Amino acid sequence: MTAREYLTRYRDAVRESREIELKITQLRLRYAAPSAINYSDMPKAHNNSDLSDYMEKLEELTELLYAKYERCLGIMIDIEMRLDRWRAQTLSWKGKYPAQVHGYHGSGAPVFVGCCR
């Protein structure tokens, strides 16, 4: 996994959580919006649904959303810790000869290599 792929994991996780938020909003609007009035006295056997289906689906999506938020938070904390270590390493380069610093700069990206969960 390259450094770019590693860092884009956070963006992808945020995108997935936003999609789940959109699904929750659509679900709430579908059940909260008023429906058309049924003027027929005939019972409809194919549409026997109550709010328990809605609540079950809403709870499932909410749990999935919290799991995605935890994943986003874990990725963000991991990236920040690695960046802090890298910044501390670069601060220790002060006072070094330019040739040494150039060698250190080439080793900046491997901080993120091999850190996939």
**Residue 67, domain member (yes or no):** yes
Domain that holds residue 92: 3-31+53-111
Who has greater pLDDT, 79 or 35? Answer: 79
Contact 5, 115 (CB under 8 A): no
For the chain, the domain total comes to 1
**Residue 65, domain member (yes or no):** yes
Who has greater pLDDT, 107 or 62? Answer: 62
pLDDT for the residue numbered 73: 93
pLDDT for the residue numbered 117: 43
**Residue 60, domain member (yes or no):** yes
pLDDT for the residue numbered 38: 67
Above 50 in pLDDT, residue 26?
A: yes
In terms of C-beta density within 10 A (0-12 exposed, 13-18 middle, 19 or more buried), how is residue 43 classed? exposed
* DSSP conformational letter for 114: T
**Residue 62, domain member (yes or no):** yes
pLDDT for the residue numbered 22: 95
Above 60 in pLDDT, residue 69?
A: yes
**Which single residue is written with the structure tokens 């579908």?**
30
3-class DSSP state for residue 28? helix
**Residue 45, domain member (yes or no):** no
**Residue 37, domain member (yes or no):** no
pLDDT for the residue numbered 82: 87
Count Cβ atoms below 10 Å from residue 64 Cβ, excluding itself. 15
Count Cβ atoms below 10 Å from residue 5 Cβ, excluding itself. 12
Cα separation of 55 and 57, whole Å? 5
